[in-house]
């Protein structure tokens, strides 16, 4: 972990180091004067595409819903990976799995039968959140490598069991916040480390949506019934209720099974943020919001605003964060993820990262000078012109530079699975292990704790527990 730099030296260090970009994120130097809006291309990764039959990884999917399908597609885009089995509690999804991946795959409603198979090396756990811990622990102890969708757990208290199971089993466990291993995240991490924006003072994250689908009102298939859906197994350790297709197919809308907007969306931002700035997470949260529009039986808010406090560490100054989600955004929708520092701001997207630098206005203007005589005004201005602060201000580079992923880039989701499968083959490390996953999930879930308690809540980012 790098040491936090003195703010006076951060700009000089950044300009000096910017030309030393690593090959992984591109060797293009930062343009010191980019007032015209410089756009640079990130260097693509090179992937090892040759594997022997002994290196092939056989994969099982547990939870073949929307995210499970997208995860599997990304996994199969990595060479040397083959899907052999799928588990789901809805018969229609098992039929869909055979449409997608062939009649030869094994299908079951019982994940334990899938874990018993000797021909499966790794599994994707893409179930509702309240099943993540149980199935992930069972899979690890059954000798399978695990890719578990975010958030890693529904409640922070569940996290240590996954950490312990991974250590006991010796198997690889990757948590699935797919942007983590992207070219853009690696470049953002490099830029931050080099002092591109000075000291971090604020994070601004928002996600606005304006559609039923975006608000999790997913379509319910006409063949759903208590026979085609194993609803009792779905409930698991959640409170027992009569069969309700809304709860099964739109489970994100219920706190008994999901984690609301915080667990679904905040956790992505926390994963990337913690990776970029080597942070362990916040120590306090204050959340508000409400159910404003999608009053369809759900018991989680569709508008959420949370303020987070991050303590000072060796890698970052103390800073604040604003996390905002609106599922009824009449603006039409959009999203943003921006780090604001003392000397600039960095905006991170799926396929690009931009750094904008502005000159800090240290010289008093007409507003504050109006109360002084002209003679006094001249003396004040002259004092600023020859001050060290003014000299430094005029030397700062300004403008915006954007780094973009190349057109043939396979994408962040591919990279996250590539990292997972490479770690399996090489007995290496993943970018988001269970400890990292718990810190991201715990920080996100903190928003839910504050919202339902209607008060600020505290979190110990080192011990990874609520206090």
The 10s digit of each residue's pLDDT in 375-410 is 999 999 888 776 655 445 444 567 899 999 999 999
pLDDT confidence of residue 29: 38
Nearest to 27 by CA among 45, 41, 39: 41
Q: What is the pTM of this model?
A: 0.90
Identify whether 59 is part of a domain: yes
Which residues on neighbouring strands pair with residue 340, listed in sequence order? 202, 345
Average pLDDT over residues 60-84: 98
Residues 6+ apart with CB under 8 A from 36: 399
- The predicted-structure confidence for 365-378, as pLDDT tens digits, reads as follows 999 999 999 999 99
The pair phi, psi for residue 252, each rounded to 5°, is -60, -20
Q: What is the token pair recorded at 272? A: 């990337």
pLDDT confidence of residue 398: 78
Average pLDDT over residues 14-26: 41
Residue 212 has pLDDT above 60, yes or no: yes
Q: What is the CATH number of the domain that holds 249?
A: 3.40.50.720
Higher pLDDT, 382 or 297: 297
3-class SS letters over the chain: CCCCCCHHHHHHHHHHHHHHCCCCCCCCCCCCCEEEEEEEECCCCCCCCCCCHHHCEEEEEECCCHHHHHHHHHHHCCCCEEEEEEECCEHHHHHHHHHHHCCCCEEECCHHHHHCCCCCCEEEECCCHHHHHHHHHHHHHCCCEEEEECCCCCCHHHHHHHHHHHHHHCCCEEEECCCCCCHHHHHHHHHHHCCCCCCEEEEEEEEECCCCCCCCCCCCCCCCCCCCECHHHHHCCCCCCCCCHHHHHCHHHCCCCCCHHHHHHHHHHHHHHHHHHCCCCCCEEEEEEECCCCCCCCCCCCEEEEEEEECCCCCCCCEEEEEEEECCCCCCCEEEEEEEECCCEEEECCCEEEEEECCCCCCCCHHHHCCCCHHHHHHHHHHHHCCHHHHHHHHCCCEEEEEECCCCCCCHHHHHHHHHHHHHHHCCCCCCCHHHHHHHHHHHHHHHHHHHHCCCEEEECCCCEEC
Average pLDDT over residues 96-102: 98
Q: What is the token pair recorded at 308? A: 């987070």
Bridge-based pairing of strands 284-290 and 303-310 is antiparallel
Average pLDDT over residues 125-145: 98
Identify whether 163 is part of a domain: yes
Average pLDDT over residues 118-147: 98
How does residue 22 score in pLDDT terms, banded at 50, 70 and 90? Answer: very low
pLDDT confidence of residue 387: 61
pLDDT confidence of residue 36: 57
Q: Tell me if 136 sits within 8 A of 124, measured CB to CB.
A: no
Q: What is the token pair recorded at 153? A: 């757990």
pLDDT confidence of residue 28: 36
Identify whether 453 is part of a domain: yes
Residue 16 has pLDDT above 50, yes or no: no
How does residue 24 score in pLDDT terms, banded at 50, 70 and 90? Answer: very low
pLDDT confidence of residue 15: 47
Average pLDDT over residues 17-37: 43
How does residue 185 score in pLDDT terms, banded at 50, 70 and 90? Answer: very high
- The b/e string for 173-205 (b: 16+ C-beta within 10 A; e otherwise) is bbbbbbbbbbbbbbbbbbbbbbbbbbbbbebbb
pLDDT confidence of residue 167: 98
pLDDT confidence of residue 381: 86
Average pLDDT over residues 350-359: 92
Residue 276 has pLDDT above 80, yes or no: yes
Identify whether 105 is part of a domain: yes
Query: Using CA atoms, how far apart are residues 98 and 107, in angstroms rounded to an integer?
Result: 8
- Nearest-5° Cα angle at 120, 114 to 125: 60
Percentage above 70 pLDDT, the chain: 89
pLDDT confidence of residue 14: 52
- Long-range contacts from 86-90, C-beta under 8 angstroms, 24+ separation: 86/60, 86/61, 86/114, 87/60, 87/61, 87/62, 87/63, 87/111, 87/113, 87/114, 88/63, 88/64, 89/229, 89/230, 89/231, 89/233, 89/234, 89/248, 90/221, 90/224, 90/228, 90/229, 90/230, 90/248
pLDDT, the chain, mean: 91
Average pLDDT over residues 193-221: 97
Residue 31 has pLDDT above 60, yes or no: no
- The predicted-structure confidence for 303-324, as pLDDT tens digits, reads as follows 999 999 999 999 999 999 999 9
Identify whether 38 is part of a domain: no
Identify whether 143 is part of a domain: yes
Average pLDDT over residues 14-29: 40
Residue 125's domain comprises 45-179+193-340+412-467
Bridge-based pairing of strands 465-466 and 457-460 is antiparallel
Q: What is the token pair recorded at 112? A: 């334990």
Bridge-based pairing of strands 399-404 and 34-41 is parallel
Higher pLDDT, 282 or 38: 282
**Crossing angle for the helix pair 267-277 and 434-453, nearest 10 degrees?**
130
- The predicted-structure confidence for 429-451, as pLDDT tens digits, reads as follows 999 999 999 999 999 999 999 99
Identify whether 348 is part of a domain: no
Residue 340 has pLDDT above 80, yes or no: yes
pLDDT confidence of residue 101: 98
How does residue 178 score in pLDDT terms, banded at 50, 70 and 90? Answer: confident
Residue 206 has pLDDT above 70, yes or no: yes
Average pLDDT over residues 2-21: 44
Residue 30 has pLDDT above 90, yes or no: no
The pair phi, psi for residue 306, each rounded to 5°, is -130, 135
Identify whether 426 is part of a domain: yes
Please state the domain count of the chain: 1
pLDDT confidence of residue 290: 98
pLDDT confidence of residue 360: 80
């Amino acid at each position: 972990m790098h040491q936090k730099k003195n703010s006076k030296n951060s700009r000089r260090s950044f300009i000096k180091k910017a030309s030393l970009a690593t090959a992984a994120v591109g060797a293009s130097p930062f343009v010191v004067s980019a007032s015209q809006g410089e756009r640079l291309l990130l260097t693509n990764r090179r992937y090892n595409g040759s594997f022997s039959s002994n290196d092939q990884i056989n994969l099982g999917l547990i939870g073949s819903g929307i995210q499970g399908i997208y995860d599997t597609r990304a996994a199969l885009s990595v060479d040397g990976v083959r899907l052999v089995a799928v588990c789901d509690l809805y018969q229609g999804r098992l039929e869909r799995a055979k449409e997608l991946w062939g009649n030869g795959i094994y299908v079951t409603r019982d994940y334990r039968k899938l874990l018993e198979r000797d021909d499966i090396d790794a599994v994707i756990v893409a179930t509702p959140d309240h099943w993540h811990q149980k199935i992930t622990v069972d899979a690890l102890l059954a000798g399978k490598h695990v890719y578990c969708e975010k958030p890693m757990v529904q409640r922070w208290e569940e996290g240590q069991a996954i950490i312990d199971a991974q250590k006991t089993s010796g198997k690889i466990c990757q948590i699935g916040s797919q942007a983590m291993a992207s070219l853009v995240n690696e470049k953002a991490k490099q830029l931050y480390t080099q002092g591109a924006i000075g000291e971090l003072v604020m994070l601004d994250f928002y996600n606005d949506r304006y559609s039923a689908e975006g608000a999790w009102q997913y379509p319910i298939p006409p063949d759903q019934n208590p026979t085609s859906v194993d609803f009792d197994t779905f409930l698991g350790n959640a409170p027992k209720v009569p069969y309700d297709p809304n709860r099964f197919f739109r489970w994100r809308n219920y706190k008994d099974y999901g984690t609301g907007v915080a667990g679904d969306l905040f956790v992505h931002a926390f994963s990337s943020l913690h990776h970029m700035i080597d942070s362990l997470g916040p120590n306090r949260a204050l959340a508000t919001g409400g159910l404003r529009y999608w009053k369809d039986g759900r018991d989680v808010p569709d508008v959420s605003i949370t303020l987070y406090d991050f303590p000072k560490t060796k890698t970052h100054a103390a800073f604040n964060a604003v996390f905002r989600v609106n599922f009824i955004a009449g603006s039409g929708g959009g999203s943003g993820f921006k780090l604001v520092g003392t000397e600039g701001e960095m905006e991170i997207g799926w396929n690009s990262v931009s750094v904008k630098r502005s000159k800090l206005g240290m010289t008093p203007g007409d507003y504050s000078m109006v109360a002084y005589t002209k003679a006094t005004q001249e003396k004040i201005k002259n004092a600023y012109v020859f001050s060290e602060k003014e000299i430094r201000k005029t030397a700062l580079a300004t403008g915006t530079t954007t780094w973009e992923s190349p057109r043939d880039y396979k994408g962040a989701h591919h990279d996250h699975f590539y990292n997972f499968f490479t770690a399996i083959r090489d007995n290496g490390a993943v970018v988001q292990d269970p400890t990292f996953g718990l810190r991201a999930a715990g920080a996100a879930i903190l928003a839910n704790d504050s919202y339902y308690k209607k008060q600020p809540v505290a979190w110990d980012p080192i011990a990874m527990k609520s206090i």
